[in-house]
Amino acid sequence: MSSIVETVSALVQPILDEHNFELVDLEYVKEGKNYFLRVFIDKIGGIDIEETALVSEALSLKLDQITPDPFPQAYFLEVSSPGAERPLKKEADYEAAVGKFIHISLYQTVEGSKIFEGDLVSFDEEQLTLSVQIKTRKKEFTFERKNIAKARLAIKF
C-alpha cells in the first residue's frame, strides 16, 4: 500500500504545485468492504469545494492513465480539506502549531493515559512539550516523538 501512496503522491504533486496548494496527507485505506484513496489538501487561507473538485478531476484523469493499474481493487477517490483538526505530520506543521491547542495519541501510556490535549509549548527532533490543563492547574508534559502515534490540531471546548 505504501507504493500506491508514493505513486499517487508523485501524480498529485504537480497538480498541487500548479495551484500553490499543499499536500497535507494522503492515505489508501480499507474501511469495511471498501477501499478509499484520500487526498487532503490545503492552502493559505483555506481550500474551498471548487478547488478540491479541480484537484479531484485532474488527479482522476491521471490515475486512469496509469498502466499497469497499481490498484488491486476498486476504490473511492476523496479529495478534501484537512479540516479544523488538521493532522501534524511534517516539521512545518509542528512549527505552525506552537502555542496552539493540539491532541496527541501515544503508543504507550504516560501517567495512565494514551491521550493528551494541551497547548504545544515546544518541540524538537526527539521530543515535544505540552501544557495540559488539569482541573484548575496547568502541568507540562514532555513526550518522546517516537511514542506519538498521531498528532493533530484540536478544538478547545
Query: Which domain CATH number covers 41?
Result: 3.30.300.70
Of 55, 80, 105, which one is at a domain's C-terminal end?
A: 80
Instruction: List Cα–Cα distances, 36 to 26, 128, 154, in angstroms.
Output: 10, 32, 24
pLDDT tens by residue, 56-97: 999 999 999 988 888 889 999 999 999 999 999 999 999 999
Number of separate domains in the chain: 2
Looking only at the bridges linking them, the beta strands covering 101-110 and 76-80 are unpaired
Query: Does the residue 10 lie in any domain?
Result: yes
Q: How confident is the model at residue 157 (pLDDT cuts 50, 70, 90)?
A: confident
**What pLDDT is stored for residue 147 in this prediction?**
96
In terms of residue numbers, what domain contains 134?
91-153
Whether 96 and 52 share a structural domain: no
Whether 141 and 76 share a structural domain: no
Q: In a 3-state reduction of DSSP, which class is residue 61?
A: helix
CATH code, domain carrying 105: 2.30.30.180
Q: How confident is the model at residue 1 (pLDDT cuts 50, 70, 90)?
A: low
Question: 124: closest CA among 85, 95, 100, 89?
Answer: 95
Query: Does the residue 137 lie in any domain?
Result: yes
**What pLDDT is stored for residue 106 in this prediction?**
97
CA dist 131 and 13 (Å) reads: 36
Of 80, 113, 141, which one is at a domain's C-terminal end?
A: 80
pLDDT tens by residue, 89-139: 999 999 999 999 999 999 999 999 999 999 999 999 999 999 999 999 999
Burial of 124 (0-12, 13-18, 19+ CB in 10 A): exposed
Whether 97 and 33 share a structural domain: no
**What pLDDT is stored for residue 72 in this prediction?**
86
**What pLDDT is stored for residue 69 in this prediction?**
85
Whether 71 and 97 share a structural domain: no
Is the distance from CB of 54 to CB of 18 less than 8 angstroms? no
pTM (two decimals):
0.82
**What pLDDT is stored for residue 70 in this prediction?**
87
Of 60, 80, 100, which one is at a domain's C-terminal end?
A: 80
Whether 69 and 129 share a structural domain: no
